[in-house]
Structure 1
């Protein structure tokens, strides 16, 4: 039986929500809806209006960008250890009309390990991605990638002991996982900033991992599995 995660609040005088017009519950609700469902910011604005909450879609956009990284960081102590087999690949989205690459990795049980938005698909971007991923994950014994020529060099530098697999169709696991992210990004009709691509992709990964049971959040035995995400975000609200 897994030990329940206990958040440690930092020694700060006020909550991150202090000074904002709306209470934490409303801010996190808007962020959760946006990260979980195929909604636009205007859709979230309309749903909140149905609950008697009047807020402009631009404000929702700003709050999602402000609080999603905080939610991701607050959840980190509750995250399960990553697996020892990684599947790494890139997908892409448009940012201000230009294709931007999203480096992503999942392990053998479907946990999203990390996400990195980059303007270029090159050695520097691949190196940054692995540096980020390894900073908060255990080293894998096997890494499966596509046949991009940068990967052997990066893996030789950072994971020389890992077995590298790049045969055709071996990376179907990450390709399938990309489709879930792309389904979420599709209603946005393009993003305006690289920061938005990074934040929304990381937030979507958090939502996926919680729903798949890769965090000790929303895991009370009497919690309806359909409410796991709702309960988890309520716990994270208290942590920030």
Structure 2
């Protein structure tokens, strides 16, 4: 479990995790670490879910274009005022349907936002009016969520 946690938390490669375990006297192949990650990551997610805090009432929403397994996709992300990730959605398109699907999923995690700060993407205001009419839309050319995408873009290059 320690190797899986290191891999997920610190953006290590499987070989890096293998090397760290070897320093502690555990000889494990990097393929074994890969299999552990595939097997235990969903269990860790399910275990950690009840420990998550309720999302805040101010959301920062943005999307970016990242390469995953050689394919370029849009990655939508919402964080609250404390920096806690509310939801993430990967999709092929950046359109009204994708924005609607993202906001619907994000709202299923608890409290409805009072204010939603986004970039100037055309799909966001129309979607917000239909799904969250009470939330105050706020436009910002560079939102907090966009600044928080840096570590995701670095990891996607690996």
Q: Number of matched residues?
A: 158
* Structure 1 gaps, min length 5: 1-27, 189-240
Q: Relative to 1, partners in 2 of residues 1:69 and 1:122: Cα closer, same or farther, differing over 3 Å?
A: farther
Are 1:130 and 2:103 counterparts? yes
> 1:99-129: per-residue Cα shift (whole Å, max 9, x none)?
1121111111211111122222222322222
- Mapped to 2, the partners of 1:127 and 1:42 lie a distance apart of 40
Question: Within 5 Å, which residues of 2 pair with 1:1-240?
Answer: 28-169=1-142, 171=143, 173-186=144-157, 188=158
Bigger strand fraction: 2
Q: Are the equivalent residues in 1 in contact too, given 2:67–2:156 (CA < 8 A)?
A: no
Q: CA deviation at 1:156?
A: 1.9
Q: Secondary structure at the match of 2:11?
A: coil
Q: Secondary structure at the match of 1:34?
A: helix
Quote the RMSD (CA, aligned, Å): 1.9
TM-score (norm 1): 0.60
Which sits farther off after the overlay, 60-69 or 142-151? 60-69
TM-score (norm 2): 0.88
- Mapped to 2, the partners of 1:66 and 1:116 lie a distance apart of 22
